[in-house]
Amino acid sequence: MAAAVVAEGVEAGLDFDWSDVEPVPQNDGPRPVVPIAYTDDFREAMDRFRAILAKDERSPRALKLTGDVIALNPANYTVWHFRRLVLEALSSNLLEELEFVNANAEGNHKNYQIWHHRRWVVQKLGKDAVYQELEFTEGALADDPKNYHAWSHRQWLLQELDDWSWELDYCSTLLKIDSANNSAWNQRFFVITKCPSLGGLHQMRDSEVRYCTDAIKQVPANESSWRYLKGLFLDDQSALVKDPLVSETCISEIVKDSYNVPALGFLLDLVSAGFQPTAEQSEMLQKILPTWVTPSELASALCTLLETVDPIRCQYWAWRRSLLPLAVTVSET
């Protein structure tokens, strides 16, 4: 399909009279080391584009030519920039331009220039186009749930529209499909920290802890949900240590599966931050880690266990253990 678009674009450019334009060949110097074998169509289009760029010609034929060149190389940022200048000069129909972008987005879903141009078009069209764009990003994310460009575009749209009412539900839907979708977890964090009407991380923490611990219970070894849980307390480690639902969830999952690496690592973070298990929790943990009495010893025992059950990162856990005496002693005092 892309080849057909290229061929049609170059042929269509012949509808305009170019006899007054002297092509400007690419200057690779007298002895290029590795000359690129451009096709004849590409060389002709670029030679012509360089000529109109030098003249700063903002005309219908210039607009058509930028489309030809983009069809040949959608990553050419200079052409995209010049196309925007021409669109503005001609007061072009930007709804038609959005269709042009849609056509060029096929097969180029991770092209920076296309997404940047798309944002420019939507900004010019105003809020009426934002809802349509949200639907477009949903389609793009259905094809590739971790498309960074689509997520970035969607975040910009939400802030531009200033309407976030459905976004947490959208994230929940994606996480039901794939609880390890880090991009959906990241979007959820973006919403609770950036949406003005939600009140910020402090206001949303309790409900998000409940949501996250429920997700952990469904897929206990999913590192994504454990990291999200930790992220909810980035601004307040003391609240992390004091939250009973957090520690209860962590310890209960370790009791169920002593090889649960994310849970073990999370408990290590808790202990390092000053958490001390209750008598009941200590009794439960000593069935798995029987050689500890103090929190310092518990942290060391966790590192030793993690070196065994997570051999790929054994050196990391050994490094964590080397930091424990100072970190844990300070928190105990």
pLDDT digits (tens, 9 = 90+) for 64-95: 999 999 999 999 999 999 999 999 999 999 99
Residue 188 lies in a domain: no
Range of the domain at 326: 236-333
Residue 217 lies in a domain: no
Residue 216 lies in a domain: no
For the chain, the domain total comes to: 2
> What does the block give as tokens for 146?
């971790």
Residue 220 lies in a domain: no
Q: If you average pLDDT over residues 128-137, what whole number do you get? A: 88
Residue 48 lies in a domain: yes
End-of-domain residue from the set 38, 66, 92: 92
pLDDT tens by residue, 176-205: 999 999 999 999 999 999 999 899 999 999
Residue 215 lies in a domain: no
Q: Comparing C-alpha atoms, which of 325, 307, 328, 326 is closest to residue 316? A: 307
Question: Which of 18-22, 29-33, 85-89, 293-297 is least confident?
Answer: 29-33
pLDDT higher than 60, residue 6: no
Q: If you average pLDDT over residues 121-129, what whole number do you get? A: 90
Check residue 56 and give left, alpha or beta (phi > 0: left; psi -120 to 50: alpha).
Answer: left
Whether the Cβ atoms of residue 244 and residue 253 lie closer than 8 Å to each other: no
Among the options 55, 110, 127, 242, which is catalytic? Answer: 110
End-of-domain residue from the set 45, 61, 92: 92
pLDDT higher than 70, residue 141: yes
- pLDDT for position 35: 77
What percent of the chain has a predicted confidence (pLDDT) above 70? 93
Q: 3-class SS at 164?
A: coil
Residue 86 lies in a domain: yes
Q: Clarify whether 242 is annotated catalytic.
A: no
Q: How far apart are CA 315 and CA 183, in angstroms?
A: 28
pTM of the model: 0.84
Residue 268 lies in a domain: yes
End-of-domain residue from the set 27, 61, 92: 92
> What does the block give as tokens for 16?
């305009």
pLDDT tens by residue, 195-241: 998 999 999 999 999 999 999 999 999 999 999 999 999 989 999 99
- pLDDT for position 331: 45
pLDDT tens by residue, 38-71: 888 999 999 999 999 999 999 999 999 999 999 9
- pLDDT for position 326: 53
